Amino acid sequence: MSEWTPDIERLKALDDAEWLHVEQSFCGRLLAYALRRTGDHQAAEDIVQETLMGSVRGIGDFDTIFTFDQYIFGICRNRTIDHLRRRRASTIQSDNDEDSGVSFLETLAHTVDTPSAIVRGRELSQRATSLLGDILRDWVEETWEQGEFQRLMVIEALFSGGWRNRDTWKRFDLRDETAVAGIKFRALKRLRQLAAVRESGSDLLPVLASASEGSEGDQRILDLDVRELWRERRVSCPARHWLARLLAGTLEPEPSDFVRFHLEEMHCPWCEASLDDLSRDKEGEMDAILERIHESTMRYLRSRTHR
């Protein structure tokens, strides 16, 4: 299964065919994401329609530091948060109610909305955010190509999951906590090298350097920057065809271990939604919502292009 990437310039030109392809490619995944978080099929459909319309209206301001997947899922996440806030406002719940089933989104709703806002809140520039996202992705791709899937799981557990060393070494049957510290040290050192290759003199380099030496910068990176950025930039999300191979039972054991860990222990919401979508019997199931969404999109496109 190949990965389709929309042509941003065609989308900005409000090309009917390109937007139709977006609807057909993303509707199922967006619906699965919203449905997991709302538990309400009608609400999920409304969120998807708002998401796709929002993506059309905002495409002129598309920021190329993100992928289109990140762009459209970010809109869907924000629309879902809005819905959950409205729903919560209409009921009487205590602040520490743990039975709502939306703990992940509620956490996001009380933090920041975009990676650039995360970085601004921690006094790093947008350029540093882009660089950090790029080098994290470089490291993940490099580690995947090397077949070092246990190392990849350890770093995802630390950087994205916020796991402690003592929990990590037990989960992955490592020698002790020092083995985890060694993996983390080498990963941070490699990130600093990758950053130097991409942009010498970057204001991120001293932070990475201090982190690799085990100073307070380590916690600054792991707790404040990398954890949110890792999720927002979908640094370690496997391509959709890997999820399809997992479902088909044709994925080799080592990458399969990582993909399952990413889904079942890191609970990646984007990949969970893709897996739900791939698991769905699509024969005619999406026709009604696609037709409704396409009609509203076409009305908007025609109003802008006077066709």
* 146 membership: H or E segment, kind and range: none
DSSP class per residue in 38-105: H--HHHHHHHHHHHHHHHHHHGGG--TTS-HHHHHHHHHHHHHHHHHHHHHHTS---TT---SS-HHH
At 251 the pLDDT is 93
Strand locations in 122-279 (E): none
193 or 263, greater pLDDT: 263
At 201 the pLDDT is 55
Compute the distance between CA of residue 114 and CA of residue 106 in angstroms, rounded to an integer.
15
Confidence band for 169, pLDDT divided at 50, 70 and 90 = very high
Query: Which tokens in the block code for residue 87?
Result: 């729903």
| Helices (runs of H) and strands (runs of E) counted in the chain | 17, 0
Does the model's pTM come out above 0.75? no
At 306 the pLDDT is 58
Lowest mean pLDDT among 56-60, 151-155, 197-201, 269-273: 197-201
Mean pLDDT of the chain: 79
What tens digit of pLDDT does each residue of 80-116 get? 999 988 887 766 444 444 443 433 333 333 344 444 4
What tens digit of pLDDT does each residue of 230-256 get? 888 899 999 999 999 999 999 999 999
- 210 pLDDT above the threshold of 60: no
Compute the distance between CA of residue 217 and CA of residue 188 in angstroms, rounded to an integer.
11
